[in-house]
Structure 1
Amino acid sequence: MRKIAIIIIILSLVSCNTEDNKLIFNEEFNEAELNTTIWNYDLGDGCPNLCGWGNNERQLYTKQNVIVKDGSLIIKASKKDSLYFSGKIHTKGKLEFTYGKVEVRAKLPKGHGLWPAIWMLGNDIDTNIWPNCGEIDIMEYVGREPHTIYTSLHNASSFGNTIHSQKTKIPTIEEGFHVYEMEWTKEAIIFYIDKKKVYTYAPINKNEKNWPYSKPFYLIINMAIGGNFGGPEVDDTIFPEDFIIDYVKVYEL
């Protein structure tokens, strides 16, 4: 109950009205460091419980590779000797919500082996293991496949495979900042890139296998290196590379 109360207080502090929807969370990274009342760090390589973060990824996550500077969040991918480093943050236990719109303005890194992502997981993942808990991938990009954005859903109906997914080709996606959005209601989950609808997931007969999306989820921002999806080959000449987030907004629909 205490965690729920904290979440409600935080949301009430940042709430304001917009033209169409109510803004319940607005992170513009204007502080001197990461706001840990909202964000948590994931650190290390996932061992011993989830080595390689479940995907044979190569990076070690560190706090030093998560930088807040000049109104932006910078997740830096770097390499020293034979080791790869990057950053991952999430809002589990601090900012969790059911339904709404997520809007993120971000600039992608470039390079074979990089795998930046903006995504969400069901908050019951500790007891309802993946993919049963549900996953919403608002934006995934892999450097080995330039000019392409993946928007995907994972749940028990796909057995963890990327079946409910859309690849969107945008020749200029690596140039400058772009806006990635996800609208989530009781009926559907809809994805947008720069205000253009790119994918809708709306199973007609919803059940616990294809629709674990009627409970709270939390936000995740990270950049993996290598792995089953991001690699396996990594171009060591690219480092360092930055995944830059301008803002993260959550609206009540």
Structure 2
Amino acid sequence: MNMKPFTLLLFTLALMSWGCSKKEEVSEKPWKLVWEDNFDRNDIFSTGVWTKMNRWGDNCCNTMSNDPSLFEIKDGKMILLGVTNKDLKKDPSPYLTAGVWTKEKKFFQKGKIEVRCKLEGTQGAWPAIWLVTKDTKWPEDGGEIDLIERLNYDPFVYHTVHSPFTYKKKAGPKNSTSFPINPDDYNTYAVDFEGDVIRFYVNGLPSFVYSRMPGKESEKQFPFDLPFFLIIDMQLGGEWVGEVKPFDKPVRMYIDWVRFYQR
């Protein structure tokens, strides 16, 4: 299948979504880099920032493992693996995946997160980079910003915001979209959650916006001014992506760097 017309269509629709969104005044004050991790040291779990993710839930994160073989630091990259489990006696999960988060260690509030990474694909792969509000109980409280999610071999990623308001599927602004990427190379993804509008970018191009609605505070439509922790994980299988097609070689998620900016 020729993907070029499809990719062009996605790009056009994404720009239309951006252009049709509520006009908001954007600060002209420049962004200032306040924190970054270039993964240029092997002991990233001793930096006071990252922890290996626990296995939890019954959907996207139910194959997480802290097996050291699933985590690599090489050539200034953090590499998270997904593999077929060859020892079901040790762990009953058919697949094992790696994930990291900054939960209970580092939080991000009113700024911009930027991540450069490359995502390998396989049928059933579901790598994601997302932000979850600190010390909140879902879905009654708090919010989630999915900077990217990619399914299978898709030549695009999804941006999504979640809140108690969107969870109840109330009428409001569109809370998700897709945007084309170079599926075989590194891409840079960013989300600005500084003010009353959440702005997403792919390789410097505006890709999606989600705005605060006046008078919806009691319905928790925009709980995105709270502190967030960051999650980066390789996932295999789940309701959305579907079943995993058996594979032999590991599927990898290469993280070049993570940066946080504020004004």
Q: Shorter-chain TM-score category?
A: 0.7 to 0.9
Counterpart of 2:147, as a letter, is I
Which of 241, 244, 262 is the aligned partner of 1:234?
A: 244
Note the aligned Cα RMSD (angstroms). Answer: 2.0
Aligned to 2:189, the other structure's residue is in SS state strand
Return 5+ residue gaps in structure 2 as ranges. Answer: 1-28, 89-93
Cα offsets for 1:159-196 (capped at 9, x unmatched): 177x61011134xx212101000011221110000000
Which of 61, 65, 90 is the aligned partner of 1:61?
A: 65
Displacement of 1:229 in angstroms is 1.8
Aligned to 1:158, the other structure's residue is in SS state helix
- 2:126 is equivalent to residue 121 of structure 1: no
Match of 2:159? 151
Cα offsets for 1:83-116 (capped at 9, x unmatched): 2111111111221121101110000111110000
Match of 1:109? 120
- Residue 80 to residue 204, structure 1, CA distance change in 2 (3 Å): closer
Q: How many aligned positions are there?
A: 221
Match of 2:16? none
Match of 1:246? 256
TM norm structure 2: 0.78
Aligned to 2:247, the other structure's residue is in SS state helix
- 2:195 is equivalent to residue 186 of structure 1: yes
Counterpart Cα distance in 1 of 2:141 and 2:123: 31
Which of 208, 213, 217 is the aligned partner of 1:204?
A: 213
Counterpart Cα distance in 2 of 1:57 and 1:111: 17
Q: Percent identity among equivalent residues?
A: 28
Structure 1 segments, 4+ long, off by >6 Å, are: none
Return 5+ residue gaps in structure 1 as ranges. Answer: 1-18
Q: Is the 8 A contact 1:39 1:94 kept in 2?
A: yes
- Larger % of strand: which? 1
- Residue 238 to residue 136, structure 1, CA distance change in 2 (3 Å): farther
- Residue 244 to residue 160, structure 1, CA distance change in 2 (3 Å): farther
Displacement of 1:35 in angstroms is 3.5
Counterpart Cα distance in 2 of 1:60 and 1:26: 25
Which of 92, 107, 111 is the aligned partner of 1:96?
A: 107
Q: Is the 8 A contact 1:131 1:160 kept in 2?
A: no
Match of 2:42? 32
Cα offsets for 1:101-146 (capped at 9, x unmatched): 1110000111110000111000023xx2236210001111011x61
Aligned to 1:31, the other structure's residue is in SS state coil
Aligned to 2:179, the other structure's residue is in SS state strand
**Mapping 1:66-81, distance limit 5 Å:** 66-81=71-86
Match of 2:10? none
Counterpart Cα distance in 2 of 1:212 and 1:93: 19
- Residue 160 to residue 137, structure 1, CA distance change in 2 (3 Å): farther
Match of 2:184? 175
